[in-house]
Amino acid sequence: MKRLAIRVRGIVQGVGFRPFVYRLAQESSVTGFVFNDEDGVFLEVQGTDEILRIMVKKIHDTPPPAAFVSEVVVKEEKLVAEEKSFVIKKSPPAKNRQVFISPDLAICSQCREEMLNQDNRRYHYPFINCTNCGPRFSIVEDVPYDRAKTTMSPFNMCESCRAEYEDPLDRRFHAQPNACAICGPHYELLNNNGKLLTRDNETLLQKTYNLIKAGKIVAIKGIGGFHLVCDAYNEAAVYKLRRRKNRFDKALAVMAGSISMVRKICEINPLEEILLKSPAAPIVLLRKRNKYDLAESVAPNNVYLGVMLPYAPVHCLLLQAEDVFVMTSANISEEPIAYLNDDAVDRLKNIADYFLLHNRRINMRVDDSVLRIIGNKPSYIRRSRGFAPTPLRFPFNKNNLSVLAAGSQLKNTFCLLKEDKAFLSHHIGNLANSAANNAYKAAIAHYEKIFAVKPQIAACDLHPEYFSTKYACSLNLPLIKVQHHHAHIASVLAENTIKEKVIGIALDGTGYGDDGKLWGGEIFLCDCLSYERVAHFSYSNFAVVKRSINS
């Protein structure tokens, strides 16, 4: 007989890890306990040497589908003679947070089947979830990940939901967002004057569908924020959306009701299909087919289309298999995505004709991720919902310094470095206005809180007028200013763990240069720490022409 203390780190909270360990313990007839804490999952197990060896291997090799195990540390402890069972203990208060938070996950096949089964008690319930799917990062307020520290805390589980939650053999055992139509969140349909039209689930789903098919624009609240939705086949509706949103040229993302519908409008290879169907459920850039027949205003003058599949239960209930809806971020161009009910109704009332709202608060807005397959590998265009805030491994931080990298002005993401982990934020966007500035600062504060990072150093762009640069300067921390194009090349080196010098070419546009001029089209001889500007595009001179007010 042995007793082992096992520390499991990674994405191990909110993904059914404690129930998984509990079931392993029951199958293995071992005693002990398991709980969540600020460092991940901790358990002690007592049994024969061979059984414990197999159990540790299963914890490492076959965790729950949504989990990611980064480390398993095993230590032998003294036997406890009086122990008779294996239990899940209450989480202790967090003091020194080390835990990772799971990204928001697309509805799983089991929940989808239940939701479409007329005999199931969650038939057509648009907030169905389990330990394998549903909201995570967007609803977390603090760690450890327990219901009381999420925006589900106002919803008290009914007897049936509580029984599932407390049954170790149930798929919803300790699923923190667990709910049903009796005890959980609900939707309501309003017009753009704020008048309530209906709260009846079946009525509002059918009415919302009919409105979209009739050419109306509906703002729909999902997992990480609002989408502006219209029929992608209706040219008048799509053009109206573009005009109201002040988005005149960029392609709009669409959601197809089925993979067969994706195949009808776009070319798609097996890797792209895997990405579309993955738990992250990102927007994937696909090449249009010759038979592509969506409204011209969806993606004008573009051979590619951004496509996603239904990932929230409400999407599955609204879209029929043959439908394609425009599903674009709910904002006026350059503003952050709307995610709070009152703010959305106020900001979007001149864009949306109707609002489909729910009463589960979103704590952190998270926009859709965008990927493209390049060279048989997925490449991130925008890393956000489904991926953030999963950390990236960063092996270069030898001094274990905590760093805030403030990011750029356009398409902003920031990064918090802690030991060998880089917590790259979800997509923030353009920091050109106060709403985006506030979203940026709130997101940094949230990441610092839940990941217990207190930056010792700040890094920012050389450009003195970037909001992110000004924010970094305001922190009164040791400051490292980084040339824009060197940052691009160094990020590629870090991502691929390349330490030696390379010839780096940055052709992304303009960046503030060491000489105070705008650089663009740069060729550097560099590594992650330093660079030599060996060649560049020539400077352009722009004449300033003064005109009279009447000219």
Residues sharing a CB contact under 8 Å with residue 480, sequence separation 6 or more, in sequence order: 457, 458, 459, 460
pLDDT in tens, 282-297: 999 999 999 899 999 9
Predicted local confidence at residue 70, as pLDDT: 87
Alpha helices in 269-340 (DSSP H): 270-277, 313-318
Q: What's residue 99's pLDDT?
A: 66
List the one residue out of 70, 74, 75 whose CA is nearest residue 98.
70
The vertex-131 CA angle with 127 and 133, nearest 5°, equals 55
Contact, 76 vs 3, CB < 8 A?
A: yes
pLDDT for the residue 502: 97
Q: What is the separation, in whole angstroms, between the first and last Cα of the chain?
A: 93
Cβ(437)–Cβ(412) below 8 Å: no
Domains, the chain: 2-88 (3.30.70.100), 187-280+294-358 (3.90.870.40), 391-478 (3.30.420.360), 483-551 (3.30.420.560)
Residue ranges, the chain, pLDDT below 50: 547-551
Q: What value does the CA radius of gyration of the chain take, rounded to a whole number of Å? A: 25
Of the candidates 275, 243, 244, which has an alpha carbon nearest to the alpha carbon of residue 106? 275
Question: From residue 363, how far is each of 157, 233, 360, 454, 510 by CA, in Å?
Answer: 20, 34, 9, 21, 35
Q: What whole-number distance in Å separates Cα of residue 446 and Cα of residue 461?
A: 22
How many angstroms separate the Cα of 527 from the Cα of each of 488, 497, 531?
Answer: 11, 11, 6
The pTM (predicted TM-score) of the whole model is 0.88
Burial of 375 (0-12, 13-18, 19+ CB in 10 A): exposed
pLDDT for res 508: 82
- The pLDDT, as a whole number, for residue 545 is 52
Helix pair angle (17-28, 49-61), 10° resolution: 150
Report the pLDDT value the prediction gives residue 547, as an integer from 0 to 100. Answer: 47
The pLDDT assigned to 98 comes to 63
What does each C-alpha distance from 58 to 22, 62, 204, 261 come to in angstroms?
12, 5, 45, 39
Rounded distance between C-alpha atoms, residue 353 and residue 357, angstroms: 13
